């Protein structure tokens, strides 16, 4: 279970980054959430063979990491962790799509490779944007922003509870798995059946905890409506942040800036 | 001042599986008293506590908190005046940050803005945890969690504090700090605990439960001197009242 514990600590580090106090951290979460949403929609709306117009979009996570003083290497490792999954999605494209699309000198590149790479780049872009959003905003604030933007209260509460108890649950699961392992003496124990009862007991324990949490909520006057405090305001800085990024994303979406820059440079050498 | 009393009359509770956890418990706790409810595992302590803020409904008998008999209509009022701190702080602290957690009760009571801020910082200040205000509960140590859990209840300014095993799982230093903190409170206080030394320090009165009945109810020192009674209820004298393990002298 060491790996799960380690991953957990790592996640807590991401969360601690949200406690920073830069200009970006202080912005209203709604502006940050909306800007990231516009970014993600723009990135995923490109056609499957479009690769070069995606590249300029890296400016968004890069600028945010720079401004908010985030550890770039740490975030890059997190993104790398997700890339294999994206690769798994796109890996069959080169096999089924062998039509040559472009030529790099003597090397012909098929449409399959281009679309596969496009998937990976898009995954890297969207995941890094999401991670940066969590790192400058914090998960609970994102939930509250989504709620203020119209997400039903019940979903927001679900997310907040998920976030609060995922650590408790993994710790409990980790302890149970360790107890099983220590008594399995290096064998497989009772195989799958021991795992099924382990998961069953985790479920029951979760149930009991949920009851106790509900009890604690009732004891403090909970009446079915989850109260939230309003602590941010959507001011000029937020408006500028949101509109500035959105306009940039739309420009990058509808103009191939990479090709433009390329032609500018190659135009210098006739 | 009758509004801080807790009166329980012939309280009975049978769980759905047929276990009779309480069989006719009666006592009356008056304003400002500090009372311990002790007994063996399964004697009915926790079941009793869960009745005091109406989480469990009695099978028979009556409960009166302050001026109100406990029933559906008075429940919101009673839950406000009885602050309950649960055994596992992870159950009590369910919000993402300490601030949110302490603010949960006051928000439900309708506090907003500066009043809310003041209420939260005051409560944290009283338990000496103001520096933890923006932390997430999973980043706190056991002792810190316990303090914050108490603050979540204090922020609702309860008249009566009910705590289930407050010193459970704390290191000696945190335990000492917590006892000092609890001694400062002037609420009506009800504790359950197996930490009998804590009981001796904090509570002038003790109620001993045995198999769902009140076996004894009286001054703590008298009860702890009755060795036959303690042995019968699967308890023993607090260490501070036992002889010195080295020289055998009574402390």
**What pLDDT, in 10s, does the model give residues A180-217?**
878 777 666 667 777 788 888 888 888 888 888 888 88
Our count of domains for chain B comes to 2
Tokens 């070069």 identify what position?
Answer: A52
d(CA A184, CA B32): 54
What are the backbone dihedrals phi and psi of residue B78, each rounded to the nearest 5 degrees, phi first? -70, -40
pLDDT band at A1 (very low <50, low <70, confident <90, very high): very low
Mean pLDDT along residues B121-148: 89
Task: Say yes or no for a CB contact (<8 Å) between A221 and B109.
Answer: yes
CA distances in angstroms from B38 to B22, B172, B176, B234, listed in the order given: 14, 21, 20, 10
Residue B214 falls inside a structural domain: yes
Q: Which domain holds residue A34?
A: 7-150+234-256
Q: Identify the CA nearest to B36 among candidates B188, B165, B207, B167.
A: B207
Task: State residue B200's pLDDT score.
Answer: 93
Judged against a pLDDT cut of 70, whether residue A29 lies above it is answered with yes
Q: Identify the CA nearest to B68 among candidates B159, B3, B1, B157.
A: B3
Does A127 lie in the same domain as A54? Answer: yes
Q: Which domain holds residue B142?
A: 88-158
Judged against a pLDDT cut of 70, whether residue B58 lies above it is answered with yes
Does B123 lie in the same domain as B175? Answer: no
Our measurement of the distance from residue A221's CA atom to the centroid of its chain's CA atoms, rounded to an integer in Å, reads 35
Task: State residue A102's pLDDT score.
Answer: 75
Does B149 lie in the same domain as B43? Answer: no
Q: Identify the CA nearest to A112 among candidates A97, A100, A101.
A: A97
Mean pLDDT along residues A74-91: 85
A31 strand-pairing partners = none
Looking at mean pLDDT, say which of A176-180, B125-129, B243-247 comes out highest.
B125-129
Does A108 lie in the same domain as A45? Answer: yes
Judged against a pLDDT cut of 90, whether residue B109 lies above it is answered with no
Residues in chain A: 270
Residue A64 falls inside a structural domain: yes
pLDDT band at B213 (very low <50, low <70, confident <90, very high): very high
Does B128 lie in the same domain as B4? Answer: no
d(CA B207, CA B3): 21
Q: Which member of B79, B138, B152 has the closest CB to residue A167?
A: B138
Task: Say yes or no for a CB contact (<8 Å) between B55 and A219.
Answer: yes
What are the backbone dihedrals phi and psi of residue B191, each rounded to the nearest 5 degrees, phi first? -120, 150
Query: Which of A9-13, B155-159, B193-197, B233-237 is the least confident region?
Result: A9-13
d(CA B38, CA A124): 59
A160 in contact with B at a CB cutoff of 8 Å?
Answer: yes
CA distances in angstroms from B97 to A5, A13, A223, listed in the order given: 21, 15, 21
What is the predicted ipTM? 0.80
Judged against a pLDDT cut of 70, whether residue A71 lies above it is answered with yes
Does A118 lie in the same domain as A75? Answer: yes
B7 strand-pairing partners = B28, B64
A220 in contact with B at a CB cutoff of 8 Å?
Answer: yes
Please name the residues between 123 and 162 in chain B that touch chain A, using a CB distance below 8 Å. Answer: 134, 136-139, 152-153, 156
Helix (H) or strand (E) holding B35: strand B34-38
Judged against a pLDDT cut of 50, whether residue A2 lies above it is answered with no
Judged against a pLDDT cut of 90, whether residue A27 lies above it is answered with no
Judged against a pLDDT cut of 50, whether residue A232 lies above it is answered with yes
Does B171 lie in the same domain as B62? Answer: yes
d(CA A222, CA B105): 8
B83 strand-pairing partners = B161
> Residue A140: its chain B contacts at CB < 8 A?
96-97, 100
Judged against a pLDDT cut of 80, whether residue A98 lies above it is answered with no
A102 strand-pairing partners = A109
Mean pLDDT along residues A232-250: 87
A142 in contact with B at a CB cutoff of 8 Å?
Answer: no
B165 in contact with A at a CB cutoff of 8 Å?
Answer: no
Task: Say yes or no for a CB contact (<8 Å) between A229 and B100.
Answer: yes
d(CA A152, CA A154): 5
Task: State residue A9's pLDDT score.
Answer: 61
Query: Which of A195-204, A256-265, B59-68, B220-229 is the least confident region?
Result: A256-265
Judged against a pLDDT cut of 70, whether residue A7 lies above it is answered with no
For residues B85 and A187, the model is more confident at: B85
What are the pLDDT digits (tens) for A122-174? 999 999 999 999 889 888 888 888 888 888 888 888 888 888 788 778 888 88
Residue A262 falls inside a structural domain: no
Beta strands B205-210 and B34-38: pairing type? parallel
Q: Considering all CA atoms of chain B, what is the largest pairwise distance in Å, rounded to the nearest integer?
A: 61
Q: Identify the CA nearest to B163 among candidates B152, B174, B171.
A: B152
Looking at mean pLDDT, say which of A7-16, A182-191, B170-179 comes out highest.
B170-179
Task: State residue B250's pLDDT score.
Answer: 62
DSSP H helical ranges for A27-92: 29-44, 59-68, 72-90
Does A123 lie in the same domain as A19? Answer: yes
| Residue B106 near residue B122, CB atoms below 8 Å | no
Judged against a pLDDT cut of 70, whether residue A228 lies above it is answered with no
């Amino acid at each position: 279970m060491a790996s799960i514990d380690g991953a957990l600590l790592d996640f807590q580090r991401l969360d601690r980054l949200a406690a920073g106090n830069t200009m970006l951290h202080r912005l209203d979460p709604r502006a940050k959430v909306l800007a990231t949403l516009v970014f993600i929609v723009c990135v995923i709306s490109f056609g499957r063979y479009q690769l070069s117009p995606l590249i300029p979009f890296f400016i968004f996570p890069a600028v945010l990491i720079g401004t908010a003083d985030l550890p770039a290497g740490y975030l890059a490792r997190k993104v790398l962790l997700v890339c294999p999954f994206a690769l798994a999605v796109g890996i069959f494209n080169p096999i089924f799509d062998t039509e040559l699309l472009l030529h790099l000198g003597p090397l012909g590149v098929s449409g399959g490779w281009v679309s596969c790479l496009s998937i990976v780049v898009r995954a890297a872009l969207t995941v890094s944007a999401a991670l940066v959003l969590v790192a400058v905003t914090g998960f609970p604030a994102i939930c509250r922003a989504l709620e203020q933007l119209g997400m039903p209260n019940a979903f927001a509460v679900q997310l907040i509870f998920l976030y609060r108890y995922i650590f408790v649950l993994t710790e409990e699961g980790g302890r149970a798995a360790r107890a099983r392992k220590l008594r399995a003496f290096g064998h497989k124990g009772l195989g799958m059946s021991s795992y099924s009862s382990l998961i069953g007991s985790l479920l029951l324990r979760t149930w009991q905890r949920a009851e106790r949490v509900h009890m604690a909520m009732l004891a403090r006057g909970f009446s079915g409506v989850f109260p939230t405090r309003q602590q941010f305001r959507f001011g000029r800085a937020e408006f500028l942040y949101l509109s500035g990024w959105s306009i940039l994303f739309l420009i990058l979406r509808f103009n191939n800036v990479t090709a433009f820059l390329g032609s500018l440079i190659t135009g210098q050498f006739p | 001042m009758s509004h801080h009393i807790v009166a329980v009359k012939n309280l009975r509770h049978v769980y759905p599986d047929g276990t009779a956890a309480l069989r006719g418990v009666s006592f009356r706790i008056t304003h400002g008293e500090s009372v311990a409810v002790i007994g063996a595992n399964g004697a009915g302590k926790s079941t009793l506590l869960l009745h005091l803020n109406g989480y469990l409904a009695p099978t028979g008998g009556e409960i009166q908190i302050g001026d109100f008999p406990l029933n559906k209509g008075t429940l919101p009022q009673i839950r406000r005046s009885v602050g309950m701190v649960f055994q596992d702080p992870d159950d009590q602290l369910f919000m993402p940050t300490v601030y949110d957690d302490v603010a949960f009760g006051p928000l439900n009571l309708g506090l907003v803005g500066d009043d809310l801020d003041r209420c939260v910082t005051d409560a944290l200040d009283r338990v000496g945890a103001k520096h933890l205000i923006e932390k997430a509960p999973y980043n706190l140590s056991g002792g810190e969690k316990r303090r914050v859990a108490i603050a979540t209840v204090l922020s609702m300014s309860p008249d009566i504090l009910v705590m289930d095993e407050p010193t459970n799982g704390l290191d000696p230093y945190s335990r000492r700090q917590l006892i000092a903190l609890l001694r400062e409170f002037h609420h009506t206080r009800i504790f359950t605990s197996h930490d009998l030394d804590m009981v001796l320090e904090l509570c002038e009165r003790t109620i001993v439960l045995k198999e769902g009945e009140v076996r004894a109810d009286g001054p703590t020192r008298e009860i702890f001197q009755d060795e036959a009674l303690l042995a019968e209820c699967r308890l023993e004298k607090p260490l501070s009242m036992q002889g010195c393990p080295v020289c055998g002298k009574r402390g």
